[in-house]
Amino acid sequence: MKKSAFGLFFCLIVSMNVLAGERNLVTQVNWTSSCSDERRNDGPHEKSLLGAALVATLAPKIISGVVDIAATAISKAGERKELARSNTSSVDQPYSISKFGDLSLDSEFLCLRVLRGELEKDQTELDLRRPEKLLFYFEAEIKELTPEPYFRLEPRRLIVRNFEESSFWSSDRREYTIALSLSNVGSDKPFASTIFTFENVEHSDKGYDALSSMLLNKASLPMLMPPVADYVKAAQAKQEAYAAPFVFASSLINNPTLPEKITIPDAQIDPTVTASIDSLCQKIEGYNKKYPKSPITDSLCSNDVRIERGNVDKAIAKSTRSPENIKWANTICTIKEDQKDGSVSCKPTGNAPVKVGARFGHMITEVTLVETRPESGFGKFVGETVKAAAPDIDKALQQQLIPSQRKAAEDAANEAARTAHQGTLLADLNVTKSEQALNELQLASAPPSEQTDARVALLKAKIAANSAYRTANLPVPYPELET
């Protein structure tokens, strides 16, 4: 009887696991306009406390650290038993262009959301209105590090309603790793990536929010913003050109009597000083005509140019704020009566190049979600592999993330290409020279030993040419010598 009861219990457990395995589980990733945690809603484009200057200063150390952090995270995950791994991706258009031609992240692209759950029949994506079907829910908000082209992701919510794989005797806690990479369509390398790791996670409908210790200090390190394609820049330029008249008109309405900015050099106050400067400049001009190969200059002699430029600026300022222009501005723009801040409303003419709601750019978001528990060696192996490659990864990341190093890497690559090309040219000339030397010896009926030495020199020149072409990543000119 006891054996039968045990067998029934065992079969029940097995059947539960089989049913769990038959569930139609999927992982999804998408970007949304805001995260669900509203208690820290300080704006989508809030300037981070980590300022641009600090980012520039710390960038090398930050990037060096991310390799070790990633390797450690993977290693620690590997010391636990991997229970479930899933991958997903999405293609998004992250940018939008305002009516004035300003390029920015679209308002629908401010929060990363990763979900894992069960699809019901005839469903193609998870339904957030059915939370009981969700196993895992994660949100991270974008924080731009303006004015530099960097951003961070700050976790806002983590909910694990059920573990993906569990049994009667398994642990009641899990570790979750979320590996994120962002890349351009058509590129085989990401322009940004990061890893989030959360330990000792308990399943609960409530989960963890931005203020819990589970998510605090878990923000990603700085990552590059999505690169802007040329066609996006062209669309932005067209929109700026279209909006230019309205921008100009609104500036005239808001500042019809804007002070004319003109700087008069102190030397122009006293006519005696002006005469002395003129005399000096005439002497310098005469000297330069007499000795054109060794001319001299003096900054005082540019006063006349500065004065004339000031007069031109003054004329432009007066012309742009003429009564006629201000009258024109008022025909297309007016101050909103219900706005005390002086906001201006303009009547658009013609069709704007960029339609309202248009999105630009294409970016692939890839996510790997891993659920683990103790006692596994796979992740440890991966972690050790990452650590072994850390110096190369570190160097590559620094060259991608730090503008100065990226420029240096590009310059080095260009210089290497030039050197390699020059090497092939010199190698070809050396082969030609060796061939000519051998021909001259043969025509002169030189002793056999001299002709043999010339053939050896020619063979060496051809081998060197093969080496130079390989360095330049070109097909070798003498493949018969490669066997």
Q: Which of 34, 31, 36 has the alpha carbon at shortest distance from 44? A: 34
The C-alpha atoms of residue 250 and residue 304 are separated, in whole angstroms, by 35
CB neighbour list of residue 409: distance below 8 Å, 6 or more residues apart: 399
Tell me phi and psi for residue 22, to 5 degrees: -85, -5
Q: How many CB atoms lie within 10 A of CB 222?
A: 23
pLDDT tens-digit profile, the chain (483 residues): 444 444 443 444 444 444 445 678 899 999 999 997 544 434 433 333 333 433 443 344 444 444 444 444 444 444 456 678 888 889 999 999 988 888 899 988 999 999 999 988 777 888 888 888 899 999 999 999 877 789 999 999 999 999 887 655 466 788 999 999 999 888 878 888 899 999 999 988 889 998 899 999 899 989 889 999 999 999 999 988 888 888 888 877 777 665 555 444 444 445 666 677 777 788 888 888 888 888 887 776 766 666 666 666 677 677 777 788 888 888 888 876 655 556 777 777 778 899 888 999 999 999 999 998 755 444 554 555 555 555 655 566 555 555 566 666 667 777 787 888 888 888 888 888 888 888 888 888 888 888 888 888 888 888 888 888 888 888 888 887 776
State how far the Cα of 186 lies from the Cα of 10, in Å rounded to an integer: 51
Res 272: pLDDT = 65
3-class DSSP string for 231-292: HHHHHHHHHHHHHHHHHHHHHHHHCCCCCCCCCCCHHHCCHHHHHHHHHHHHHHHHHHHHCC
**What dihedral angle (degrees, nearest 10) is formed by the CA atoms of 44, 47, 49, 54?**
130
Task: Give the pLDDT confidence score for residue 67 in this predicted structure.
Answer: 44
Residue 205: name the closest of 136, 111, 126 by CA: 136
Dihedral of CA atoms 181, 184, 188, 194 in degrees, nearest 10, equals -10
pTM of this prediction? 0.56
Residue 5 pLDDT: 43
Does an H or E element contain 368, and which?
A: strand 363-374
**What pLDDT is recorded for position 55?**
40
